[in-house]
Structure 1
């Protein structure tokens, strides 16, 4: 089999009615085309389910309780959560406008701001984040699966290890060194979670709204059940609320200036945990039935679910510190459930089973929709001829293994550092894109030019690169990078650089956005305010196009250009879907 035949075998199967579209442009496929009304199925309740499913889970729980490791009291931690979640809600509404109004996702939004070719830079960054988050959430899912199986068969870990040849010749069931922060059963359940996830990736994302609502109800009931159980058993919210809280936690109470900066750091970590979701929120708001569907639901549900999940996590951690002091700070729900089972009887095992099952559903919800599908959407815009959303989602899921997530979540402070570090690079990207859409382009987009990589496109800029975006992004990352470097290495930086890093997300977002607007005022980009004269894609109804005389002129000009550059010539054809 020659090379061309081999590559043709790898091409994404295409529907007969879409074959002509695929042949016209290598920048266009069914998964990144502006969605027609028939595929926009998400109403306001769909976004309620989406954010509950992606917020009421293990990462949301640990995001609140891990704030205690910074030296914050419970009241201070909750103040941080309230501020952080309100900022998250505002950011999500802003990044959701583009998708809700023009029904295209994050990869296409990149092209308007960065340029047709430079758009691959933020796209690759977002894909890398999808790999990281998919691995992290799959690891959490594996831990819940381990707890679930352990509640059914307490000796299952050793049995699994033996049957799968995980044990070594000396009969030890942990072939991994202590530095890996995991044992054989952890690794096995992590792999099982990935395997179970694969069939679920077949569901198209526009049909996730019902599974989201079901998952949201299950995880909400589980969280509130643990919350009520903890309050009843502890006869209150537990000892962490009292004056001896820091002694129980094992950290020094932050005071004075240190307290203020710890709270700033906590707010940034709240936004850092969801910074990837903020950036590509348009990948899901593009499914909105109408633009308002995503606004009101996100404004209310994001702070509510975020604050309640963090509060539940903090209270349950507090009560656990009273009853299981030898276990340390149980900042993960699966560790809490394991402690409950180890110290309880058959009734405790039954409760752990149902709670673990609920959290397992939640992990499938967030990891498949929030990470695997997001990675698939982004990868489908890299190589649309060979990758669609489904193939990209499979690849993102399988990449969880080489990402070594057990190293990312080895401790509460490590977890916060990793989450906050993401915002160093993503917050400036988010800022310049939002400022461009809101203040430079005044929320007007020329959809047809998003699939035209030639100087005819207003988004081509200079050889496919918008230098304004590059400069603005560097200006946003520059002040944050020294602090980021210090947080992930042994490099020592000044206290001022560290404090700037503590303001990571809001500072990077604002700096890049303002710089981009200033550069756009000094050197105005071409085509600002332009929109398509015709609805070529049927985005707002039935597709239409220019009169036959105008079409003839377009075809004539394209045929003349084809002799000079046959690749870019096809991009000048107005595509009708």
Structure 2
């Protein structure tokens, strides 16, 4: 039976088609700057504040570096999907979950990203409110600030990925300078009171309790970026990469430098600010700490950094990926611009600021659910398909990825079991979910499911047919004609 335009239209939303080589505009410095903006946010400070409740800051810093480098490696692995084939996260998820099944795990990621958008916008709005209140004591309305700040971020993102990168390039150096000033301001105040942030712990623990506290910091950092670890292809499909490059490290250089250098160093410094803020104000929120240590123009300038960091984080790490997912779920009638504003609405309705006090536990829970998806993606892409993807079939309603009524049941079995076990071991959720879900998916797919539903790229692992930029190919998805014209690869 022919494949009709009606059947396939919802799979071929223009915003979800593979990105061609000539449209990949983000280079090493661009992604480096994006990571600086993404890693500096108030929620990061909470990890530092939580960590120094039990162990000293040097151990918290070491745990943060370990966790960030580890999750940065996972992000780089998954990112090759976007670099190699130009595919976004929700489109590739049609392979391990099916053309219909992709919507459920994708929505889990989109709602999580919307949660972060709402939380970061709330933090930014409180900083904006404080800036205005500093010069106009009669103004105190964070909700108005929230609405305006949310609209500005959404318009910036709806203008396109290049505008997201441009804002990151503009904001990154300002953020770095102001972060140094904030850290100096807080630690100077601590020193004046005879304290030392590097030698202090609120309620120090030893032995096994110290080891557990150390591990919690590692996996909290990993859980923090489990969201981006899943859907980094939505961003990495815009990365510049050389054609005909078979060396994985050279092909993924943009991602590697950003995820293994920029992110760990930036996040570690934010952990230090969170610890200092706790000593000064009894809270990880530096807005409160700065209000106790600075005033006037100095306070306004420092609070401006808080605003810029929330903005740069939201556009790249939350709005762009979530909008791609909503566009995929709701079909071609919902453009990327409309999907961007849906992210803002969902993130506001959730009211995530109400759970800030238990944020570390929330991070571990998110890590449990989403790390299982990351494990499935890595196994499906590297171990089973060996980076070869039958991309044309990802856009076909009656094609290879239809499985059982559009659902790959093995993906869901692995996700549910892996995520559930990870939740039981919440302190180590990321690695538990990643390993268990990936192992289950590999065994069931290789020895059962893919025998029932043969996968062309596994049966015939041809580079020329199923690799992308490595063989110099741009994947082109043709519109279906009335005569059921077959799609071609250029």
Shorter-chain TM-score range: 0.7 to 0.9
Q: Which one of 192, 200, 207 corresponds to residue 256 of structure 1? A: 207
CA distance in 1, matches of 2:90, 2:175: 31
Partner of 1:437: 381
Q: Which one of 34, 59, 74 corresponds to residue 43 of structure 2? A: 59
TM-fit CA distance, 1:306: 1.7
Partner of 2:59: 76
Partner of 2:403: 461
CA distance in 1, matches of 2:366, 2:28: 29
Alpha carbons 1:379, 1:388 under 8 Å: kept: no
Determine if the alignment matches structure 1 residue 387 to structure 2 residue 334. yes
Determine if the alignment matches structure 1 residue 91 to structure 2 residue 74. yes
Partner of 2:111: 128
TM-fit CA distance, 1:132: 1.1
Determine if the alignment matches structure 1 residue 268 to structure 2 residue 219. yes
Q: Which one of 513, 517, 540 corresponds to residue 442 of structure 2? A: 517
TM-fit CA distance, 1:91: 1.3
Q: Which one of 430, 436, 457 corresponds to residue 505 of structure 1? A: 430
Q: Which one of 346, 359, 368 corresponds to residue 306 of structure 2? A: 359
TM-fit CA distance, 1:517: 1.5
TM-score (ref. length: structure 1): 0.75
TM-fit CA distance, 1:223: 0.4
Decide whether aligned partners of structure 1 residues 21 and 215 sit closer, same or farther in structure 2, where only a CA change above 3 A counts.
farther
Partner of 2:269: 308
Determine if the alignment matches structure 1 residue 26 to structure 2 residue 10. yes
Decide whether aligned partners of structure 1 residues 541 and 520 sit closer, same or farther in structure 2, where only a CA change above 3 A counts.
closer
Decide whether aligned partners of structure 1 residues 545 and 235 sit closer, same or farther in structure 2, where only a CA change above 3 A counts.
closer
TM-fit CA distance, 1:540: 4.8
CA distance in 2, matches of 1:534, 1:91: 23
TM-fit CA distance, 1:225: 1.3
Determine if the alignment matches structure 1 residue 37 to structure 2 residue 21. yes
Please identify the structure whose Cα radius of gyration is greater: 1
Which runs of 5 or more residues in structure 2 are unaligned? 242-250
Determine if the alignment matches structure 1 residue 278 to structure 2 residue 203. no
TM-fit CA distance, 1:233: 4.4
Alpha carbons 1:448, 1:574 under 8 Å: kept: yes
Partner of 1:344: none
Partner of 1:471: 413
TM-fit CA distance, 1:101: 0.9
Q: Which one of 284, 290, 297 corresponds to residue 337 of structure 1? A: 290
CA distance in 2, matches of 1:48, 1:534: 30
CA distance in 2, matches of 1:214, 1:44: 15
TM-score (ref. length: structure 2): 0.87
Partner of 1:480: 422
1:97 alignment partner, SS class: helix
Partner of 2:160: 204
CA distance in 2, matches of 1:399, 1:424: 22
Determine if the alignment matches structure 1 residue 155 to structure 2 residue 155. no
The structure richer in helix per residue is: 2
Partner of 1:106: 89
Decide whether aligned partners of structure 1 residues 229 and 242 sit closer, same or farther in structure 2, where only a CA change above 3 A counts.
closer
Query: Which structure 2 residues correspond to residues 162-177 of structure 1 after superposition, within 5 A?
Result: none
2:330 alignment partner, SS class: coil
Alpha carbons 2:390, 2:466 under 8 Å: kept: no
TM-fit CA distance, 1:192: 3.3
Alpha carbons 2:40, 2:313 under 8 Å: kept: no
CA distance in 1, matches of 2:137, 2:488: 60
TM-fit CA distance, 1:298: 2.2
TM-fit CA distance, 1:544: 7.8
Alpha carbons 1:435, 1:513 under 8 Å: kept: yes
Q: Which moved more, 1:360-369 or 1:96-105?
A: 360-369
TM-fit CA distance, 1:272: 1.6
Alpha carbons 1:114, 1:470 under 8 Å: kept: yes
Determine if the alignment matches structure 1 residue 424 to structure 2 residue 368. yes
Partner of 1:167: none
Decide whether aligned partners of structure 1 residues 543 and 59 sit closer, same or farther in structure 2, where only a CA change above 3 A counts.
closer
Partner of 2:245: none
2:215 alignment partner, SS class: helix
Decide whether aligned partners of structure 1 residues 542 and 331 sit closer, same or farther in structure 2, where only a CA change above 3 A counts.
closer
2:52 alignment partner, SS class: helix
Query: Which structure 2 residues correspond to residues 546-565 of structure 1 after superposition, within 5 A?
Result: 559=483
TM-fit CA distance, 1:107: 0.5
1:458 alignment partner, SS class: coil
Alpha carbons 2:185, 2:293 under 8 Å: kept: no
Alpha carbons 2:88, 2:231 under 8 Å: kept: yes
Q: Relative CO higher for 1 or 2, CA cutoff 8 Å, sep ≥ 6?
A: 2
CA distance in 1, matches of 2:112, 2:29: 27
TM-fit CA distance, 1:359: 1.9
Root mean square deviation of aligned Cα = 2.9
Decide whether aligned partners of structure 1 residues 297 and 366 sit closer, same or farther in structure 2, where only a CA change above 3 A counts.
closer
TM-fit CA distance, 1:22: 9.1
